[in-house]
Amino acid sequence: MNRVELRNISKSFGGIAALKNVTLKVIPGEIHALIGENGAGKSTLMKILSGAYTKDYGQIFIDGKEVQIKNTHDSKKLGIGIIYQEFSLVPGLSVAENVFLNQLDTTGFWMKWGKMKMNAEALINSIGFSINPSLKVGDLSIAQQQIVEIAKALSENVRVLILDEPSAVLGPQEIQKLFDTLKKLKKESVAIIYISHHLSEVFQIADRITVLKDGTSSGSFPVSETDRDSIIKLMLGRSLDAMYPFRETIIGEEVLKVVGIHVAEKVKGVSLSIKEGEIVGIAGLVGSGRSETVRAIFAADKRKQGKIFLYGKELQLRSPRKAVSKGIGMVPEDRKQHGVILSLTVKENISLTNFKGITDHFGFINVKKERNNTIELIRRLAIKTENEDQEAGKLSGGNQQKVSLAKWLNRDCRVLLIDEPTRGVDIGAKVEIYNLINELSQKGVAIVVISSETSELMGICDRIVVMHKGQVQGELAKKEYSEENILRMSIGEVENATSGQLTS
Amino acid sequence: MNFKISLKRYLQFIIKYNTVFIFLIMLVVSAVVSDVFFTSTNLFNLIRQVTPVGIISMGMLLVILTGGIDLSVGSIVAMVGVLCALLTQTMTLPLAIIASLACGLLVGSLSGYLVSVHKIAPFIATLALMSIVRGLGFIFSKGAPVLVSENASVLTDFGSGNFLSIPNPAFILILTFAITAVLLKYNIFGRIIIAIGSNEEAVRLSGIKVSAYKFSVYAIAGGLSAVAGIITTARTAVGSPVMGVGMELDVIATVVIGGASLSGGKGSAINTLLGVLILGMIGNIMNLMNIPAYSQQVIKGLIIIFAVLLQRFQGSSK
């Protein structure tokens, strides 16, 4: 019998379908790999199983019985444990306290620290690691924290264990230990769901593979009956349609040159060069250091090393203000947190990047000028809003994204860094945003686009730089474009052209 | 059904303009419970009493709009009040006033520096300064009230006098209010301060120097506290180191009653002014009714809770 059966699960966020009729069956004592591109719906599906999200439609069966999972408490009671990419540990508490946080022994008045520490230590030892249970979790390395997270899940006697990209933070030896632990759990007939991008790992550890693609399941296969290439084809295989408008590329001189940028742990020596009128894409998996690179160029985060040149002149950028004054703009990844201010009006948001044209010497705003300027931009970007005084929070995601872009059209940028231009945006608005990016590049703006959607990058970029683990893994010219090439590079399977070393 | 809808609409209207309604209710209640409330002497006193808190509340509003808080304002009132009285004994009046104002600005700037450059939590930075500045007030005055020099009668005359039967200091309050209101509505300074309180990171990523703005709101609050200190000394002709004890709480309360959000980004000058008058009326009417001072504190606290709960409804009805 199936330990877990998800039948026809559907889920959408604000009108955008994240999952469409997905079915997944996992039997006890099996390691079931769930794979797919960024945004294919893997994490969403698992969040539904663990109660972090609720499904819109579909049924969930545990051991053949239909269950209702409305919150994380429900799923815990059913013996479902999940280890997220972002940990749920309390940094200020000790390892032992974290492991037993949900089941503190409350009999009697005194905490039984000694017993708790012993149990925690035994549990961690049992999965092949040793961590002092008295240490604060905040002082541990990321890999050690991951172990604590696993121990915490095991302490709750899980029957279904979900691991979301567990290997992303582990070194090769640690991964091996993790695999040993998983094999041990398998013998105890725990059903394990293993989410990963790394095909080599999946083929090493998993019994069956389910591929998700654009929120639907492309099928489940026993590992023995499939191979790497057919899985990659399943993960991709979407044709480029007419979504991407044609653009005539006129490439001028080099505008921005970045040499050897380092950002604490995340970016390790990235160099880029962007020319006038060029659109350069940056591809890579979540955590590959794409956003961190761009944020460092914009001086939103401190960089440890590296130089930035604009038209051959080195820039000393210490703050976004300096970057903006030099003509660099950034549309951040998270529009709701960083791109627009939801409680302010469209007008107030757009004006934020440039007050020069609409104020006098004393900073008093010329109401009429500001209004006209905003209306002009609203018209140019076709932002759907009641008027310029509408709160940005009331707009749809696509229109918020347009406001986030409009802020930079409001001043003359020479370089525009766009992180995820169309995430969570419907198709119509997507095309409009692509047109806008094209229009800017034709005016000679040098543009960098980061996207998790490889088809988007292939559709709009002149070349694509692929990042892997904080470094540039390689670069693809237009004629080398294929989703497979990009994917292979992002998971480190293609040798790095510059260093000539195999990383897979 | 129709009735229900229109009732709901009325309620929403009341909740939206809750500060105005509380103000009107207070006016009516005051008029009913006391027949001396609407006499010119009483109103004159009321306005004179609320003036210092009112002036500071405009500075506090700016600080709170950025998502910060300033606890040092009451201490600045005392220190500057003492300094001003002392300085009138040794230098000319204009110089004494300028020096006193500069001291307030300096303390405010120090708070601003700690908050914006060293990223110390505003509560902690200004709590420390509240203690330091209060101590300095005692040190400068040697613990005793300081008389304003007789040569500075211009100051004391201004402080106790009136024009068109409105207390002179009230004109400074009106001016402060008007400038704040205009800054918030028509100047990029106000625009950016509100934006910072709404989402500091988004403002930073728009290429705005957030720290400069955060610095300046504390400097302004310090400067306005100094103005309030000088006015208080001018009115009583004495600078006392125990002036303004607990005043920071009254000022914060007026801003909150005026509908500002302590997490920043929300608040207006006119509502804050109404908040000042509401809090002043509560004290005034309780005095007229001879309610003992201890009970007054309890009632004042209850009214603040009520006002804030009303705004909670406003938040949830959105």
Q: Provide the 3-class DSSP secondary structure of residue A361.
A: coil
Report the pLDDT value the prediction gives residue B260, as an integer from 0 to 100: 87
Residue B71 has pLDDT above 70, yes or no: yes
Domains A4-235 and A253-327+413-424+446-497 share a fold: yes
| Range A437-442 average pLDDT | 90
| Range A112-136 average pLDDT | 85
| Range A417-438 average pLDDT | 83
**pLDDT over 70 percentage in chain B:** 96
Chain B environment of A342 (Cβ under 8 Å): 198-199
Query: How far lies A433's CA from each of A17, A398, A430, in Å?
Result: 20, 9, 5
pLDDT tier for residue B120 given thresholds of 50, 70 and 90? very high
Cα B139-B141-B147 angle, rounded to 5 deg: 170
Residue A240 has pLDDT above 50, yes or no: no
Q: List chain A domain ranges.
A: 4-235, 253-327+413-424+446-497
- Label the pairing between strands A65-67 and A57-62: antiparallel
- Nearest Cα residue to A196 out of A71, A46, A55, A417: A46
CB A267 within 8 A of CB A292: yes
| Range B70-98 average pLDDT | 93
Could you give the number of structural domains in chain B? Answer: 1
Query: In chain B, which residues touch A (CB < 8 A)?
Result: 186-189, 191-192, 194-195, 198-199, 201-209, 265-266
The DSSP annotation for A24-67 comes to EEE-TT-EEEEE-STTSSHHHHHHHHTTSS--SEEEEEETTEEE
User: How far apart, in whole angstroms, are the C-alpha atoms of residue A467 and residue A489?
Assistant: 8
- Tally DSSP H helices, then E strands, for chain A: 16, 20
Nearest residue in chain A measured CA to CA from B209: A321
Cα A276-A278-A280 angle, rounded to 5 deg: 130
- Nearest Cα residue to B32 out of B279, B303, B285: B285
The CATH number assigned to the domain with range A4-235 reads: 3.40.50.300
Of B186, B189, B195, nearest to A341 by CB-CB distance is: B195
Q: Provide the 3-class DSSP secondary structure of residue A475.
A: strand
What pLDDT, in 10s, does the model give residues A271-303? 999 999 999 999 988 778 899 999 999 999 888
**pLDDT over 90 percentage in chain A:** 30
Measured in degrees and rounded to the nearest 5, phi and psi for residue A83 equal -115, 110
Interface-testing mutation among A298, A341, A354, A369, with chain B (most B C-beta atoms within 10 A): A341
**pLDDT over 90 percentage in chain B:** 53
Residue A101 has pLDDT above 80, yes or no: yes
Residue A345 is classified by DSSP as B
Give the fold, CATH level 3, of A253-327+413-424+446-497: Rossmann fold (3.40.50)
| Range B34-45 average pLDDT | 84
Residue A66 has pLDDT above 60, yes or no: yes
What pLDDT, in 10s, does the model give residues A72-83? 888 888 889 888
Chain B environment of A406 (Cβ under 8 Å): none
CB–CB contact B201 A352 (8 Å):
no
Tokens of B146: 């300081």
Q: Does residue A31 or residue A215 have the better pLDDT?
A: A31
Q: Give chain B's end-to-end CA distance (angstroms, integer).
A: 21
Q: Which residue's entry shows tokens 């749920």?
A: A88
Q: Which residues contact A466 (CB under 8 A, 6 or more apart)?
A: A282, A283, A284, A472, A473, A474, A475, A476, A486, A489, A490
Instruction: Please indicate, yes or no, if residue B301 is contained in any of the structural domains.
Output: yes
| Range B207-223 average pLDDT | 95
Q: Does residue A370 or residue A106 have the better pLDDT?
A: A370
Residue B22 has pLDDT above 50, yes or no: yes
Residue A503 has pLDDT above 70, yes or no: no
Report the pLDDT value the prediction gives residue A97, as an integer from 0 to 100: 87
Instruction: Please indicate, yes or no, if residue B11 is contained in any of the structural domains.
Output: no
The DSSP annotation for A295-334 comes to HHHTTSS--SEEEEEETTEEE---SHHHHHHTTEEEE-S-
CB A503 within 8 A of CB A496: yes
Q: pTM of the predicted model, to two decimals?
A: 0.75
SS3 content of chain A, % helix, strand, coil (to 5): 35, 25, 40
CATH code for position B207: 1.10.3470
The answer to whether residue A407 neighbours chain B at the CB level (below 8 Å) is: yes
Instruction: Please indicate, yes or no, if residue B129 is contained in any of the structural domains.
Output: yes
User: How far apart, in whole angstroms, are the C-alpha atoms of residue B223 and residue B206?
Assistant: 29
User: How far apart, in whole angstroms, are the C-alpha atoms of residue B67 and residue B70?
Assistant: 11
pLDDT tier for residue B148 given thresholds of 50, 70 and 90? confident
- Nearest Cα residue to B70 out of B60, B57, B56, B61: B60
User: How far apart, in whole angstroms, are the C-alpha atoms of residue A182 and residue A191?
Assistant: 10
Q: Provide the 3-class DSSP secondary structure of residue A266.
A: coil
Tokens of A50: 């663990």
Residue A243 has pLDDT above 80, yes or no: no
Residue pairs between chains A and B whose CB atoms are closer than 8 Å: 67
Residue B317 has pLDDT above 50, yes or no: no
CB A219 within 8 A of CB A210: yes
Report the pLDDT value the prediction gives residue A426, as an integer from 0 to 100: 67
pLDDT tier for residue A403 given thresholds of 50, 70 and 90? very high
| Range A241-260 average pLDDT | 81
Most confident of A386-390, A421-425, B183-187: B183-187
CA Rg value for chain A:
25
CA atoms within 13 A on the CB side of A311: 8
Residue B2 has pLDDT above 70, yes or no: no
Most confident of A474-488, B27-41, B268-282: B268-282
A342 Cα to chain B: minimum distance (Å): 8
Report the pLDDT value the prediction gives residue B274, as an integer from 0 to 100: 93
Of the candidate ranges A75-84, A238-247, B69-78, B105-114, the one whose mean pLDDT is the lowest: A238-247
CB B177 within 8 A of CB B255: no
| Range A409-430 average pLDDT | 84
User: How far apart, in whole angstroms, are the C-alpha atoms of residue A324 and residue A301?
Assistant: 14
Of A320, A332, A338, nearest to B207 by CB-CB distance is: A320
Interface-testing mutation among B205, B213, B214, with chain A (most A C-beta atoms within 10 A): B205
